[in-house]
Amino acid sequence: MSKKILKNILFVFVLFVMIPQGVFAHATLEKANPAPDSQLDAAPKEIVLQFNERLEKELYSIKVFDENGDSISKKETKISKDQKSISQSLSELPDGLYTISYKVISADGHPVDGSYVVSIGEGNILDTSALDLHTEENNSGFFNTMNSIIRILYYTALLLTTGWLLWGTFHSLGSRETYRKWFVSLQISLIISTILMGAMQFTELLDSWSIKGILSILTGTSLGISLTVSVLLTILGFVLLFRFNWLDRFWVLLLLVAKSISGHAMAFEPPIVTILLDIVHLLAAAIWAGGLFYILVFWRKKREEIRAFLPTFSNFALASLLILIITGTASTLIFLPKMTYLLYTTWGKMLLVKMAFVLLVVVIGGVLRYRLKKKQEHLGTWLKVDFSMMVLILVIVGIMTHLNPLPQNKPLEWHDQKDNIEFTFSITPNAPGTNHFMIFAKSYEEGVKIKRVNLYLSSIDNPELAPIEVPFTDGSMLDGNYLPFPGKWSAELRILDSEDNEVVFYKDFMIY
């Protein structure tokens, strides 16, 4: 490979992995009872937290803390049969401020935690500026960069190892000893990168390393089972492979199945479809990547044999790319309710870049097929460019695997001031369906009080829909289904003071 191409690959690799990336979790808190920011007259009998997707059956918890920061959780946290909600019964609580904290593992293996505050009793007023509701696990830039690098190395090792072995069962090129030496090196790189990736994921999932916690993940989560099976298969490969072609191919299939039972494919319904799509996608990628690597390894010493092999590889590569496009498109349609969501997340933008690279690979493949047909020289340069594109695509894939395909709804916190009127307004969780609305408004004019607050929500995407009124008639907060569907919305807040002066505020926001 020329130094110029190698420099370009390294430059883009560093560019991608050095971009700060948040490790976004899939599962999002859709509904909480009691709701965040709630001011309750009496203590609730239980806490119920509902999420938008299935959770793992291990390492979930709800903890309640009093005003001193002491944990008062005494009951066991339970998970529902559909694994989409967790709950905890409460003992009788005295009046005061309480912090509810939760931690779960998303079906794709990502940790999700969050905390919010509620008050019990009339004398306890929440300071909304101090409230914190989050469903993301934010790690350091260094951790995220290392996570991306390890994932890139893992997917590269996985595809090259499985692809190399598959091609060896169909085609003999070079000495069998050389072929096996390369495979053993790839196997070693695969087992090392698998263990490193597992260690990074365990670091995310565990508050503290313990035998009990490790065993819970390994035996009770799809992520742990996937890692365990992958490591065992790779180790068994040193003993079982190169005996029968059918066994080698079956080993490849099992390894790809083990990988597919964790990650994005597990987080969407129906999982059997998404997992099958993922297996086929990985298999097609392995055939393309492994075959290309196969060619470059033997290009110099076995050039004539490689030239004879190129037409076969070209046909398989074209079929693999078509399968990659079809399965990738199908998975994206399952992951995203709207294709426009590609523009709202880092995952979506990187997918668009990946698609551009894949299309470029198709063009390069067309050039290679034409030059082969015309028996032209200088194929090596085009093969190196094709390999460069493969490396860049693997870099993108490694980063995308720990990003969320779906944009995340976040609580709307709106604070503004005009004409001696100041207010703080919030919508939690700010998602389609039932939300918790809260408004605190005051006047800075002496002797002037707030007389009435009117809130109107208008759908920007559906202008024929009349504004929906949120009736703040009996207080400063309420729960209701006043945001019935996702899209762009506009909030119109009208605040009338005791002297009948009205101030109007506007704010546009998006819910997914």
CATH number at residue 156: 1.20.1630
Give phi and psi for 249, each to the nearest 5.
-70, -40
> Is 50 exceeded by the pLDDT of residue 234?
yes
Residues 6 or more apart whose CB falls under 8 angstroms from that of 19 comprise none
* Residue 453 token pair: 């607050």
Per-residue pLDDT tens digits for 256-311: 999 998 877 777 778 889 999 999 999 999 999 999 998 888 888 888 888 888 88
What's the pLDDT score for residue 245?
Answer: 93
> Is 50 exceeded by the pLDDT of residue 223?
yes
What's the pLDDT score for residue 77?
Answer: 93
> Is 60 exceeded by the pLDDT of residue 13?
no
Q: Point out the domain boundary residue: 400, 434, 452.
A: 400
Task: Let me know if residue 407 belongs to a domain.
Answer: no
CB neighbours of residue 180 within 10 Å: 13
Question: How confident is residue 20, by pLDDT bands cut at 50, 70 and 90?
Answer: very low
Do the beta carbons of residue 453 and residue 472 sit within 8 Å?
Answer: yes
- For 240, the 3-state DSSP assignment is helix
Burial class (CB in 10 A: 0-12, 13-18, 19+), 393: buried
* Residue 499 token pair: 């002297």
Question: How confident is residue 15, by pLDDT bands cut at 50, 70 and 90?
Answer: very low
Question: How confident is residue 23, by pLDDT bands cut at 50, 70 and 90?
Answer: very low
Task: Let me know if residue 406 belongs to a domain.
Answer: no
Percent of the chain past pLDDT 70, that is, above it, reads: 90
Q: Residue 2 to residues 6, 259, 292, 385: CA-CA distances in angstroms? A: 6, 34, 16, 10
Q: How far apart are CA 263 and CA 111, in angstroms?
A: 12
Q: How far apart are CA 227 and CA 442, in angstroms?
A: 56
Q: How far apart are CA 400 and CA 386, in angstroms?
A: 21
Within this chain, do residues 359 and 418 fall inside the same structural domain, yes or no?
Answer: no
Percent of the chain past pLDDT 90, that is, above it, reads: 33
- When pLDDT is averaged across residues 68-91 and rounded to a whole number, the result is 88
- When pLDDT is averaged across residues 157-165 and rounded to a whole number, the result is 95
Within this chain, do residues 423 and 322 fall inside the same structural domain, yes or no?
Answer: no
* Residue 418 token pair: 């005009």
Q: Point out the domain boundary residue: 366, 400, 434.
A: 400
Task: Let me know if residue 90 belongs to a domain.
Answer: yes
Task: Let me know if residue 135 belongs to a domain.
Answer: no
Q: Point out the domain boundary residue: 72, 107, 130.
A: 130
> Which CATH number characterizes residue 483's domain?
2.60.40.10
Within this chain, do residues 160 and 236 fall inside the same structural domain, yes or no?
Answer: yes
Q: How far apart are CA 492 and CA 453, in angstroms?
A: 11
Task: Let me know if residue 489 belongs to a domain.
Answer: yes
Radius of gyration of the CA atoms of the chain, in A: 28
Task: Let me know if residue 100 belongs to a domain.
Answer: yes
What's the pLDDT score for residue 163?
Answer: 95
Q: How far apart are CA 132 and CA 117, in angstroms?
A: 8
Which range marks the domain in which residue 462 is found?
A: 412-511
Within this chain, do residues 374 and 275 fall inside the same structural domain, yes or no?
Answer: yes
Task: Let me know if residue 29 belongs to a domain.
Answer: no
Task: Let me know if residue 405 belongs to a domain.
Answer: no
Write down the pTM of the prediction.
0.79
Question: How confident is residue 4, by pLDDT bands cut at 50, 70 and 90?
Answer: low
Per-residue pLDDT tens digits for 107-157: 878 888 888 888 888 655 444 444 444 444 455 677 778 888 899 999 999
Within this chain, do residues 438 and 384 fall inside the same structural domain, yes or no?
Answer: no
**Which of 52-61, 328-337, 369-378, 466-475 comes out lowest in average pLDDT?**
369-378
Q: Residue 412 CA to chain centroid, in angstroms?
A: 22
Do the beta carbons of residue 70 and residue 78 sit within 8 Å?
Answer: no
Within this chain, do residues 361 and 383 fall inside the same structural domain, yes or no?
Answer: yes
Within this chain, do residues 152 and 233 fall inside the same structural domain, yes or no?
Answer: yes
Within this chain, do residues 90 and 155 fall inside the same structural domain, yes or no?
Answer: no
Top-confidence residue, 187 or 33: 187
What's the pLDDT score for residue 305?
Answer: 84
Per-residue pLDDT tens digits for 376-395: 667 778 888 888 888 888 88
Per-residue pLDDT tens digits for 349-375: 999 999 999 888 888 888 888 877 777
Q: Is the dihedral of CA 137, 140, 141, 146 positive or negative?
A: negative
Within this chain, do residues 155 and 303 fall inside the same structural domain, yes or no?
Answer: yes
Q: Residue 51 CA to chain centroid, in angstroms?
A: 15
Nearest alpha carbon to residue 481 among 445, 438, 451, 437: 437
> Is 50 exceeded by the pLDDT of residue 450?
yes
The tally of CA atoms less than 13 A away on the side-chain side of residue 398 is 29
Within this chain, do residues 218 and 162 fall inside the same structural domain, yes or no?
Answer: yes
What's the pLDDT score for residue 173?
Answer: 64
Q: What is the DSSP string of 402-466?
A: TS-SSPPP--EEEEEEETTEEEEEEEES-SSEEEEEEEEEEE-STT--EEEEEEEEEESS-TTSP
Q: How far apart are CA 7 and CA 477, in angstroms?
A: 59
* Residue 67 token pair: 């005003």
Top-confidence residue, 427 or 403: 427
Instruction: Give the CA angle between residues 181, 184, 187 to the nearest 5°.
Output: 155
Q: How far apart are CA 446 and CA 389, in angstroms?
A: 68
Mean pLDDT (the chain) is 84
- For 279, the 3-state DSSP assignment is helix
Domain count, the chain: 3
Question: How confident is residue 212, by pLDDT bands cut at 50, 70 and 90?
Answer: confident
Within this chain, do residues 120 and 228 fall inside the same structural domain, yes or no?
Answer: no
**Which of 148-157, 165-174, 451-460 comes out lowest in average pLDDT?**
165-174
> Which CATH number characterizes residue 85's domain?
2.60.40.1220
Do the beta carbons of residue 53 and residue 26 sit within 8 Å?
Answer: yes
Within this chain, do residues 162 and 301 fall inside the same structural domain, yes or no?
Answer: yes
What's the pLDDT score for residue 30?
Answer: 79
Greatest mean pLDDT range, 29-38, 43-52, 142-151, 191-200: 191-200
